[in-house]
Amino acid sequence: MKNRLKEILREGRVAVGGAVTSGNLDAAEVMARMGFDWLVFDTEHAPLSIETVQALMQAAKGTETVPIVRVAWNDMVLIKLALDIGAYGVIIPWVNNQAEAVRAVRACKYPPAGIRGVGPRRAAEYGTRTQEYMRTADEEVMVIPQIETEEAVNNAEEILSVRGLDAFIVGPADLSTSLGVPLQFDHPKFVKAIEKVLQAGKKAKVPAGMFAPGAEAAVRFVSQGFQLVCVGGDMGFLMNGCRAALEKVAPLRTKIIV
């Protein structure tokens, strides 16, 4: 197992990602072939079952796009399932303190480093490469906690000091809401919180990530020091495409054809 996304981050480059939230295989396949460095298959806020996520990752196979799964919770069973079907890493929501970060890491590692059960199924090509996978998985699988509460911001240094974290990612909607300024990403309280987690990441040498609310925002966040950025998702891309097309043809709707 070799994780291209880890290499990108290790080299200090920006890794641009997109979110897959629908169960449409064609959409996942198209996104994987458009050049994203990574795709996150979202089981936290999207109605995707584990079977659907596996099918989506199979549709995206054959590209250089790295598959990451955002699990629904910091739960060893959910994490194990995501990794066993072939995720190269997991984004783990609601990590608010050091103990929760330790639990996330241990769920991703095989004994003795962790408690991940042995049964990597698709990840090990259905048993044909199990030993090779297990030799490399602990090093190559990415553990990415999500920082999305005021508590997590206050504990950022302790969280990011945990050995085995490969990056962290900010959930701006939840974080701004937790700070009492929902969706106000320019509010001083939000900006101050972002500065604090960035400094904690630099101190711990853990790359910073962001679910950016659009490509323009992603550019701004990268200029601040974020390295792992999700620039949007399938539903947003679809809506933006529809909106752009309708705006272009809007004048035609006033014409009367006789």
Catalytic member of 4, 45, 121, 189: 45
* Residue 38 in tokens: 């990574």
User: CA torsion 61→63→66→68, rounded to 10°?
Assistant: -40
Cβ neighbour number for residue 85 with a 10 Å cutoff: 21
Q: Report the alpha-carbon distance of residue 211 to residue 233 in Å, rounded.
A: 10
Q: Report the alpha-carbon distance of residue 37 to residue 64 in Å, rounded.
A: 7
Which residues have CB under 8 Å from 241's CB, separation 6+? none
Cβ neighbour number for residue 72 with a 10 Å cutoff: 17
Catalytic annotation present for 45: yes
The DSSP bridge partners found for residue 211 are 230
- Phi/psi for 67 (5° steps) reads -85, 125
Q: Name the residue with tokens 């992603």.
A: 218
Question: What is the DSSP code string of 10-78?
Answer: HTT--EEEEEE-S--HHHHHHHHTTT-SEEEEESSSS---HHHHHHHHHHHTTSSPEEEEE-SSS-HHH
> Helix 234-249 vs helix 25-32: angle between axes, to the nearest 10 degrees?
90
- The residues carrying an active-site annotation are 45
